[in-house]
């Protein structure tokens, strides 16, 4: 919205306050007892970037576990981490759409906003402020040694400051809610270790405040690319046939699995080292059918890999169809998705503000 040129500075200031009302910073005196510590049994936090609809690997490796955790822990927060997403260039309109798509996907996969707080990270500004404070406690060599910085900065020749420091924001995401448990993949363990280190550093400097969060490693094997089974399945894979999204039609799923890389041996066996392509199909089959890899191989007895792909296709389609249909239903009602996120944002701020207030008091801001 453009301002008339003749507006004086006082009118401009009133306008800015109208669209962006001032925040009241909370200090230790405002802490209420229920916000001092997570409830008994621990608090789980995890986040996912709004980079479009999740793929099959996201669902089997993380989201299924998220659904389970909301029934096992008394306090669970899941964040759509849009602040993290802009470490890579984003089209603003696409980002807005992706945030709602991710909300729809999480709900369709089984996240219950009555059991878990589902919210949009950028709507809780305490994340960014705590990240700055923790960044001032983090050495540059500590960040340079994290593997994802090395990998991503090489891919982009040189990375942005945001890409360099985003592990500190990850730590802030976790510590802001005094989280005790964080579901992570093996490639994220070192970033969780940074959060543990920063909890210790802050506590040593300013007194005990943050628990050291523990990793909850998923027992599900990683789903590999259908075109290159030495790599993880990824939404950024340039090969369209490499990745199954959870909204793929049955025909798309069948085509992608039919073209999945295997080998020249007909029999189905599970041997990830020497037969990664066939073993990836077994991993997918076992995961979507909720059986072991051994049981999947038993079901494949007498089938060649071509016939086995049809069996895996049927299992994947059966698992994804109700999710795909629910996503389509939710996408048709963006107002509902916005309302779910708005409620989650309020609930997240109710937890975040008192903790940041305590941090501000301890570091001397108030």
Q: Annotated catalytic residue: which of 123, 235, 256, 310?
A: 235
Instruction: State the Cα–Cα distance between residues 207 and 212, nearest whole angstrom.
Output: 14
**Is 310 considered catalytic here?**
no
- Is 222 one of the annotated active-site residues of the chain? no
H/E stretch holding 253 reads: helix 250-258
Residues 163, 193: contact at Cβ < 8 Å?
Answer: no
Q: Are 246 and 323 in contact (CB under 8 A)?
A: yes
Q: What angle do CA 126, 128, 130 make, to 5 degrees?
A: 65
Among the options 152, 154, 222, 224, which is catalytic? Answer: 152
CA distance 359 to 346: 20
Q: Which residues of 253-271 are buried (b: 16+ CB within 10 A; e: fewer)?
A: bbebbeebbbeeeeebebe
Task: Write down the catalytic residue from 123, 232, 309, 310.
Answer: 232
- The residues, ordered by sequence, that sit 6+ positions from 176 with a Cβ below 8 Å of its Cβ are 124, 126, 127, 130, 351, 352, 355, 356
Spatial contact of 166 and 132, defined as CB atoms under 8 Å apart: no
Q: DSSP secondary-structure letter at 232?
A: B
295-304 long-range contacts (CB < 8 A, ≥24 apart) are: 296/270, 297/268, 297/269, 297/270, 300/268, 301/268, 303/268, 304/266, 304/267, 304/268
Q: Is 152 a known active-site residue?
A: yes
Tokens of 138: 């983090």
Using a CB cutoff of 8 Å and minimum separation of 24, what contacts does 342-345 make?
Answer: 343/113, 344/113, 344/117, 344/118, 344/119, 344/120, 345/119, 345/120, 345/123, 345/124
Residues known to be catalytic: 152, 232, 235
């Amino acid at each position: 919205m453009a301002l008339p040129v003749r507006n004086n500075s006082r009118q401009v200031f009133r306008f800015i306050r109208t669209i962006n009302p001032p925040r009241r910073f909370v200090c230790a005196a405002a802490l209420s007892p229920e916000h001092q510590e997570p409830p008994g049994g621990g608090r789980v936090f995890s986040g996912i970037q709004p980079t479009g609809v999740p793929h099959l690997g996201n669902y089997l490796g993380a989201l299924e576990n998220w659904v389970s955790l909301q029934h096992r822990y008394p306090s669970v927060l899941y964040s759509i981490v849009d602040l993290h997403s802009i470490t890579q260039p984003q089209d603003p309109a696409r980002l807005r759409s992706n945030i709602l798509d991710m909300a729809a996907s999480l709900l369709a996969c089984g996240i219950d906003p009555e059991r878990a707080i589902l919210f949009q990270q950028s709507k809780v500004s305490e994340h960014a402020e705590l990240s700055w404070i923790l960044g001032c406690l983090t050495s540059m060599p500590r960040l340079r040694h994290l593997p994802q910085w090395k990998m991503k900065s090489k891919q982009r020749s040189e990375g942005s400051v945001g890409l360099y420091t985003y592990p500190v924001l990850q730590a802030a995401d976790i510590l802001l809610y005094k989280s005790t448990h964080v579901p992570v993949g093996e490639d994220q363990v070192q970033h969780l270790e940074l959060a543990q280190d920063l909890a210790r550093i802050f506590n040593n400097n300013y007194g005990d405040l943050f628990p050291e969060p523990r990793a909850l490693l998923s027992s599900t094997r990683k789903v590999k690319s259908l075109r290159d089974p030495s790599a993880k399945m990824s939404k950024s894979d340039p090969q369209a046939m490499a990745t199954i999204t959870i909204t793929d039609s049955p025909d798309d799923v069948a085509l992608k699995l039919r073209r999945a890389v295997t080998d020249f041996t007909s029999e189905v066996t599970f041997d990830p080292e020497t037969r990664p392509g066939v073993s990836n199909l077994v991993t997918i089959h076992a995961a979507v059918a909720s059986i072991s890899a051994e049981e999947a191989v038993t079901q494949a007895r007498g089938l060649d890999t071509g016939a086995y792909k049809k069996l895996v296709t049927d299992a994947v389609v059966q698992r994804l169809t109700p999710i795909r249909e629910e996503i389509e239903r939710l996408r048709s009602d963006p107002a509902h998705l916005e309302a779910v996120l708005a409620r989650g944002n309020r609930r997240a701020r109710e937890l975040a503000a008192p903790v940041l207030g305590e941090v501000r008091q301890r570091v001397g801001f108030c």
